[in-house]
Structure 1
């Protein structure tokens, strides 16, 4: 199986806050989004850009995946953000307000023209009604390596704003939008991380929403506060019992006498070969998490 990169906890850090950027180097988040968009006031955009690029070039983030969220190309700062981010060479560049496949392909061409290294991927914010309606065609661009698309990021606050849906407990109003994007991501082999939970003081509510996102098929969750990292990492990591059972499933299906069998009994449970594939992924992500701690 191809090596996996854990993306359980994806923490937004304001690009205009130098102390936050430095603190990010000490946090247990799997990925950091250094934000030039929503978290930065218009009069601080250029200074934030310079500060974020300097931080990325200086490094020191360790095993954490470093992502720069740029301003949209329709804004006064978008083109300069893309050029600077491409030159800085982060792990990924996050594109806001993606609505069509062209948003991916044109951005990929732009960062290539700006000299982005091959390792710099694109992440896409899914935060508009048009993005939801075009989810399959947007994510289908990932089938072309030149598009660089590797992760979808759900922008649930913006979806709520644009659709007039209410973000109520249990997120009934969001489930269709979230599930459509999970299906598109899985169909075309990209990761997907859930939207933020706004009340960072509500640990019980946050844990419940992490569990819901995990059960929907999300790979992780975007966060707005460092105190959310620990719970998020716990929920989106396979439990010890789950890992042990997965290893047992793999062990039994790998026995020579079971190579041609499609279903077997494992510890009193009927398990099909598709469960062995799921078990291999469980073990792979557990090992990837263990390797970075």
Structure 2
């Protein structure tokens, strides 16, 4: 993948780090990326064992083209420093850090990774999931080139806002928009939060559509059954790909003929439409390369 920002991240599945069967099953799932979790899904007395198991899984490989990340325990917890040192040695594609609230914290994470010898390819994915993180979203996103992805923690954000989980997510839209603005202003990828009701696939699909319309690059998931709908919704449709090709062909033909005005299906085409068409085709090509 020549451009890491175009790497498909439609479906990003959390997998419990202490569960050996789950780690093995993850090798067969069509998720674009995996978050091997050492935080919420691992009991306090299993943290050390989970850390060892996850780092061994990363070292052993077998996950194909899936992007492989590890979520560590948060800053200020008794496990955080040991987690970062172990992850640095394992060298996954990224370390996912919960509740990142400031640029200072990003710098501390970066220093810890570098001190532990993390390879250059191990990026930082910052989870933004508090009111202060929403208000400091641009500061956090701009703090480091090593930080490449924002991950929305919508459950924690709703909790801290005292908000209800409702269809359409109206109570969260202000925070989602601030994080999206910060990600796009700094050239970062941004992933939508999880959908909690794994049996409600219709509601899940509606939220995926909302996330895609907002501009999210993909969505974090808590169940393998959510992968298929998520991959389909966050991929460019056949119609969008065909229209993008049509726009680019018309624009290039007009440029070759020296025409300044370009129309496609009766609509004026400007550079911004061509740029978007090229982005859509690049995303589609990246998905084809991934093979899913």
Normalized against structure 2, the TM-score is what?
0.96
Q: Distance in 2 between matches of 1:8 and 1:156?
A: 17
Instruction: After TM superposition, list the pairs within 5 Å mapping 1:36-185 onto structure 2.
Output: 36-142=38-144, 145=145, 148-185=146-183
TM-superposed CA distance for 1:73, in Å, is 2.6
Q: Which residue does 2:288 correspond to in 1?
A: 290
Helix, strand or coil at the partner of 2:68: strand
Deviations, residues 256-285 of structure 1 (Å, cap 9, x unaligned)? 636876652112222221010000000000
Q: Evaluate the alpha carbon distance shift between residue 64 and residue 171 of structure 1 in structure 2; reply closer, same or farther with a 3 A threshold.
A: same
Q: Is the 8 A contact 1:223 1:229 kept in 2?
A: yes
CA distance in 2, matches of 1:193, 1:208: 16
Q: Summarize the Cα distance change of 1:261–1:221 in structure 2 as closer, same or farther, 3 Å threshold.
A: farther
Query: Which portions of structure 1, spanning 4 or more consecutive aligned residues, are displaced by more than 6 angstroms?
Result: 259-262
Distance 1:29 1:75 in 2: 29
d(CA) in 2 for partners of 1:263, 1:165: 49
Which residue is equivalent to 1:187? 185
Asked if the contact 1:252–1:258 (Cα under 8 Å) also holds between the matched residues in 2, the reply is no
Distance 1:149 1:263, change over 3 A: farther
SS in 2 for 1:254: helix
In 1, Cα distance between equivalents of 2:256 and 2:44: 63
Given that residues 254 and 261 in structure 2 are in contact (C-alpha distance below 8 angstroms), is that contact kept between their aligned partners in structure 1? no
More displaced 10-residue stretch of structure 1: 170-179 or 249-258: 249-258
Question: What corresponds to 2:267 in structure 1?
Answer: 269
> Which of residues 251, 275, 278 is equivalent to 2:276?
278
TM-score, normalised to structure 1, is 0.96
Structure 2 unmatched ranges of 5 or more = none
Question: 2:235 aligns to what SS in structure 1?
Answer: coil
Alignment of 1:239-258 (within 5 A): 239-255=237-253, 257=255
Change (3 A) 1:90 1:271: same
Aligned residue-pair number? 289
Structure-2 change in CA distance of 1:246 and 1:78 (3 Å): same
Contact residue 128 and residue 158 of structure 1 kept, 8 A: yes
> Following TM superposition, by how much is the alpha carbon of 1:251 offset from its aligned partner in structure 2, in angstroms?
1.4
The answer on whether the counterparts of 1:262 and 1:273 sit within 8 Å (CA) in structure 2 is no
| CA distance 1:261–1:64, change in 2 (3 Å) | farther
How far 1:141 moved relative to its partner? Answer: 1.6
